[in-house]
Copies of this chain bind each other. A is one copy, B any other.
C-alpha cells in the first residue's frame, strides 16, 4: 500500500499510479541528478530532506529549493524533456519513489487529473520561490533566516513546551547558499539569535523559543 505524506500536488489519491513507482533509499550526500542531465524519471520524497541547487557561470552556488517529505521533483523538466538546470543532493538519508516519465505519459492519458496535480505542485513552488526572492531582495539576514525556518516549519514543525521545533540538518554554508549570504554572516546571525534567546540548537534540530504556532512565526517572517 502506497502512503505518501500530505502535500500539494501529490498523486497518492490516484489509483494506478502506485504500481509504477520504484522505491529507493539514498545515503546522505548522494546526488540524485546533476545540472545538465536529461533524465527519464521524476520522483517524490517520502522521507528525509534534499536540496536543489544551481551553479552560476562564475562558480557561485545557490540552493533554490528544499525538498521535504511529500515534495515532487523534476516534473517540469521531465515533462518537456529539457535538461535539468539544477542539481539535487540528499542532505539527510532520503527515501524516494521514482516514476518513469514514459509511465507518466501513459497514465496521464487515463487520468487527466495527473496534470492538474502537477500544476498545483508547480503553483506552490512558484509562490515559495517568489517569497524567497522578495525576501533576498528586500530583507536583511535575520528576516531571511526566519523565512527559511518558516518553510520547514509549515511542513515539519512540531510544537514543544519550549517552542516550535524543526529538523535542521544544514551546515552554515548551506544556509548561506539558501539566503544569499556567506557562512560567516550566517554563523554570526545564529550566535546573535541564540544569545538573544530566540533560538536553540540541539543536534540537527532547531527550536524557536517562545514561538507556539505557525501563525506567530509567519508574523515574524513577514514583517
Interface size (A, Cβ < 8 Å)? 39
CA of A132 to CA of B130, assembled, Å: 10
Residues 147-185 (chain A) with a chain B CB within 8 angstroms? 179-180
Are the C-beta atoms of A119 and B118 separated by less than 8 Å? yes
Nearest CB in chain B to that of A77: its residue: B123
Chain A residues touching B, majority SS:
helix
- CB distance A137 to B222 under 8 Å? no
- Is the pair A222, B126 in contact by a Cβ cutoff of 8 Å? no
B115 touches A119 (CB 8 A): yes
A123 close to B80 (CB less than 8 A): yes
Indicate if the CB atoms of A180 and B122 lie closer than 8 Å.
no
Beyond A56-B222, A76-B119, whether A126 also contacts B127 by CB under 8 A is no
Question: Shortest CB–CB separation between residue A35 and chain B, in angstroms?
Answer: 12
Q: Are A57 and B138 in contact (CB under 8 A)?
A: no
Question: A60 in the interface, Cβ–Cβ < 8 Å?
Answer: yes
Return A185 CB to nearest CB of chain B, in Å: 13
